[in-house]
Homo-oligomer: A and B are copies of this chain.
Amino acid sequence: MANIEAIHRYIEEHEEEHIGKVQEFLRQPSISAENLGVKECAELLRQYYAELGCKEAELVPTEGHPGVWAYYDAGAEKTIVNYCMYDVQPIVGEGWSSPPFEANIVTMPPFGRVIINRGAINSKGPYRAWLNALESIIAVEGKLPVNIMFTAEGEEELGSPHFPQIIEKYTDRLKTADAGLMCGAGQDQQGKIRMSLGNKGIVYMELECSGKDWGRGPQQYDIHSSNKAVVDSPVWRLMQALSTMTSPDGNSILIDRYYDKIAPPSKEDVELVDQLVDVFDDSVWKDMYKVERWIDDEKGREFLLRYLYSTTLNIDGIWGGYTGPGTKTVLPYKVTCKMDTRLVPNQESKDIVPLIRAHLDKHGYSDIEVRQLAGYEWSKTSIKDPVVQAVLSVYEKYGIKPIVWPHMGGSAPMYLYTRPPVNIPICTAGLGHGGRAHSPDEYYVIEGNDKVAGLVKAEKSFVDILYAFANWPKAK
C-alpha cells in the first residue's frame, strides 16, 4: 500500500524546487508558429522523461516539429497514455506586464502568487506540475503505480497537423494501454471544474471560385470593373453558390444527406444534459462571447441540445478583390472562403468534402474548388469508464462536484486515442487554475486560495488521481 500522505508531504517540502521546475520549462520558448525554441523544448521534455526513469525517451521526427515519446515501465498491471502539447502561441503586438518568457512570480488577487508566462496555463505550467507529482511518487515509493506511455506534440497551436504521424508510429504499443489521461489545471476562477467527455469532429476547408477554373471571368488578375458589363464575376458566382448551401437564416444546411448519419443523443448523453440544465447559466457565455441572442432565442435544455448535437457549417473568413481603404474599381479574378463544419456522432470527416462537392456539382458549380485543410473525428468516452470514475472520485474527495459535459462544442484530435486502432478511453484531470490563454499576462496559480488549488494542491491531486486509477477495478 502506497503512503499517499508521505508523497503529499514530500510535495509540500519540495515546493520551491517544484516552482523552479515549472519556471524552467516555461522559460524555454516553444512557439510553433515561429519555430522559436521548439526543438530545444522538445529536447528538454525528452530529458524530463529520462530523468523520471523512462528507459525509452526519444524525439519523434515528423514532417513538422518533432514529437516526444517516452515509456515508463513500472512493471504495473495497468498502463496509461499521457498526452502533452509542449508548444505555445506567438506573442504578437501584445503588451505584457511581465516579459512573456521570464516566468516571473507576481501577486494576483484573489489567487495570491501566480507565474506569468506564455504557456503558463496552456499548457506547460500544469504539465510540469504533473511531472513534479510523478517525481514525488518515485522519490517516496520508488516507482509509479502504473506504467505510462508519454506522447507529446509540438504543433497543437497549429492544429496538430502531424500528430497522427506520432500516434501511428506507436499504435501497437498504445492500443495495449488501459486509458488516456490529460493532466491540466481544470478549475475556473471559482474553483469549479468543467469536464468534457469528448469533442466534436471538424473538417476545415477552403472554397475558391476563380475565373481560371470557371473558364469565364478574368483569368489571371483583377481587371477594371467597367468590364463587368461583358465579363462574368467569380465573386457573384461564389455568393450565389454559397447561398444555396444554407437556409436564408444561415442556420440549416441544405446540402443533401448532410444530416443523414447524425445519431440522436444516447441515453447517457441525455442524462448528462439533464443534469447540466440545472447548473448551466447561458448569461456567462453571452457575456464572454458578446452575444445578445442565441439562434431562435433557444434556452435551457433546448439550447444545450442544440449546442452539443448540431453539426454546423460556418464561414471562418472570406476575401477577394480590393479590400483596402477608399475606392478601387476592380472585377476580381478570384474569391476564396474558409469554412468549417463541426461533426457530431456519427458523422465522419471523410464524407464532408464529397457531400459539398456533390452539392456544388448538382447546382452547376463543378468548377468551384474545395480544398480540405484539416479534419478530426468526434470523440467520446463514457462517464462509466473506470478512468472517468476514478477521476470523479478524487474530485469528490476534494469536495468538488464537476460539471460534466458529454462532449464539448470544439474539436481536438482525441479520436486518435479513442477510436480504433488505439481505442482507449481518455479523461482530462487535475486541480489548479490559470487563465488568459493566447492572451497577454497568461498566468498559472502557484499559491491559490480556499476555492482554487495552488501548485502544491494541484500536484497532490495528480498523485491521488494516479493512485485512484491504479486501484480502480478494471472494466469488464
Copies of the polypeptide in the assembly = 2
Cβ B310 vs Cβ A229 within 8 A:
yes
Q: Which residues of B contact A239 (CB under 8 A)?
A: 239, 242-243, 250, 315
A70 nearest CB across to chain B (Å): 29
Cβ A317 vs Cβ B323 within 8 A:
yes
- Of A108-116, A285-293, A347-355, A453-461, the one with at least 4 CB within 8 A of chain B: A285-293
Given A303-B230, A318-B335, do A340 and B292 touch, yes or no (CB 8 Å)?
no
Asked if A195 is at the interface (CB within 8 A of a chain B CB), the reply is: no
Cβ B329 vs Cβ A294 within 8 A:
no
Q: Which residues of B contact A215 (CB under 8 A)?
A: 292-293
Cβ B312 vs Cβ A323 within 8 A:
no
Q: Which residues of B contact A321 (CB under 8 A)?
A: 315-318, 338
Cβ A319 vs Cβ B316 within 8 A:
no
Number of contact residues on A: which range applies? 35 or more
Question: How many angstroms from the CA of A463 to the CA of B290 in the assembled complex?
Answer: 68
Q: Which residues of B contact A327 (CB under 8 A)?
A: 159, 204, 316, 338, 340, 373-374
Cβ B409 vs Cβ A158 within 8 A:
no
Cβ B231 vs Cβ A291 within 8 A:
yes
Contact with B along A302-323 (1 / 0, CB 8 A): 0100111010111111111111
Could you write out 16 A-B pairs with CB less than 8 Å apart? A200-B226, A216-B293, A225-B314, A225-B342, A226-B312, A226-B410, A228-B312, A230-B298, A231-B289, A233-B314, A236-B242, A236-B246, A314-B331, A315-B320, A316-B328, A327-B340
Known: A319-B323, A322-B338, A328-B338. 12 other contacts (CB 8 A): A200-B226, A216-B292, A216-B293, A216-B295, A223-B289, A225-B340, A226-B410, A227-B289, A228-B312, A240-B243, A319-B319, A329-B340
